[in-house]
C-alpha cells in the first residue's frame, strides 16, 4: 500500500508518502511546500501546484489528511481550512479516497499516547522509519505521522506487504520498546493501547 499523508497549511504544507513493506514501513518521499506573499489565491495555487507534482511523482493509492480541529486562533483555523480545501480538491481530481484523522488519533497511532508532544511524535517518526534525524520543519514530521497513522489504521487488509503488521497492535510493544530508551516521554516504557 502506498499513500501520502498531508499536514495542510497555506504557508507550509507538509507531505509524505509512506509504503508498507514486508517486515516494516519505509518513506518513499517527504517534504514541505513553502508559499509566500500577501495574496491568498496565489499561495493556494502554489500549494496546489506543489501537491500535484507530488501526486504525479508518487502515484498514491489513497490520501490521508489531518482533520481540521477547532483552534482558538481564528486566522490559523481559516488558513488551515483553505489549505485543506485545496488538498481535498486535488484528491477528487485524482480519484483518491481521503481519510481524515484528528491530532489525538495521529499521536496515538505513532507514539502510543494521544497527548504526545510534538517532540515525541517527531522522534517516533524517525524511529519507525529508520531516518537519520527527526524530519524538519515540523510540518514534514507531521505529514509523516499522518501517513503512518493511516497505514496503521489500514491494517493487513490494506496492504499486501503487511503494513498493519509493521505498526499494528501485535507489534506495537516491539516498536515502542525500541524507541522508549531515548524518546522523550517514553522512558517509562510502552503505553497501553498503542497503535489504536
**Chunked in runs of 10, what are the mean pLDDT values of the chain (196 residues)?**
80 90 86 92 95 94 83 75 92 94 93 89 94 94 95 61 40 47 46 38
DSSP class of 24:
E
Whether residue 188 lies inside any domain: the answer is: no
Is the Cα torsion angle 136, 168, 92, 70 positive or negative in sign? negative
Whether residue 191 lies inside any domain: the answer is: no
User: At residue 118, what are phi and psi to the nearest 5 degrees?
Assistant: -55, -35
Whether residue 48 lies inside any domain: the answer is: yes
Q: Are strands 24-34 and 12-21 parallel, antiparallel or unpaired?
A: antiparallel
Whether residue 93 lies inside any domain: the answer is: yes
CATH at 10: 3.30.420.10
Whether residue 131 lies inside any domain: the answer is: yes
Looking at residue 169, what is its pLDDT?
Answer: 38
- Cα 35 to Cα 192: distance, rounded to the nearest angstrom: 40
Longest pairwise C-alpha distance within the chain: 49
pTM of the model: 0.78
Contacts made by residues 156-160, CB under 8 angstroms, sequence distance 24+: 158/1, 158/20, 159/1, 159/20, 160/1
Total domain count, the chain: 1
Whether residue 52 lies inside any domain: the answer is: yes
**Contact between 117 and 106 (Cβ < 8 Å):** no
Whether residue 45 lies inside any domain: the answer is: yes
Residue 71 sits in which domain range?
2-179
Whether residue 186 lies inside any domain: the answer is: no
Peptide bond before residue 137 is cis, with ω within 30 degrees of 0 = yes
Looking at residue 162, what is its pLDDT?
Answer: 38
**Contact between 6 and 19 (Cβ < 8 Å):** no
Partners of 13 in the β-ladder: 33
Amino acid at each position: 500500500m502506498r499513500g501520502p499523508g498531508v499536514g495542510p497549511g497555506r504557508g507550509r504544507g507538509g507531505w509524505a508518502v509512506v509504503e508498507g513493506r514486508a517486515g516494516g514501513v519505509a518513506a518513499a518521499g517527504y517534504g514541505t511546500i513553502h508559499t509566500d506573499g500577501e495574496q491568498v489565491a496565489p499561495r493556494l495555487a502554489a500549494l496546489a501546484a506543489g501537491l500535484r507534482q507530488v501526486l504525479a511523482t508518487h502515484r498514491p493509492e489513497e490520501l490521508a489528511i489531518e482533520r481540521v480541529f477547532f483552534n482558538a486562533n481564528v486566522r490559523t483555523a481559516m488558513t488551515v481550512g483553505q489549505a485543506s480545501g485545496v488538498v481535498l480538491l486535488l484528491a477528487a481530481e485524482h480519484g483518491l479516497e481521503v481519510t481524515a484523522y484528528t491530532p489525538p488519533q495521529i499521536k496515538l497511532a505513532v507514539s502510543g499516547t494521544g497527548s504526545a508532544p510534538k517532540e515525541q511524535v517527531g522522534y517516533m517518526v524517525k524511529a519507525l522509519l529508520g531516518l537519520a534525524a527527526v524530519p524538519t520543519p515540523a510540518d514534514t514530521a507531521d505529514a509523516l505521522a499522518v501517513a503512518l497513522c493511516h497505514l496503521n489504521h489500514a491494517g493487513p487488509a490494506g496492504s499486501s506487504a503487511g503494513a498493519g503488521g509493521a505498526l499494528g497492535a501485535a507489534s506495537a510493544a516491539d516498536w515502542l520498546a525500541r524507541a522508549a530508551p531515548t524518546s522523550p516521554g517514553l522512558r517509562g516504557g510502552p503505553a497501553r493501547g498503542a497503535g489504536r
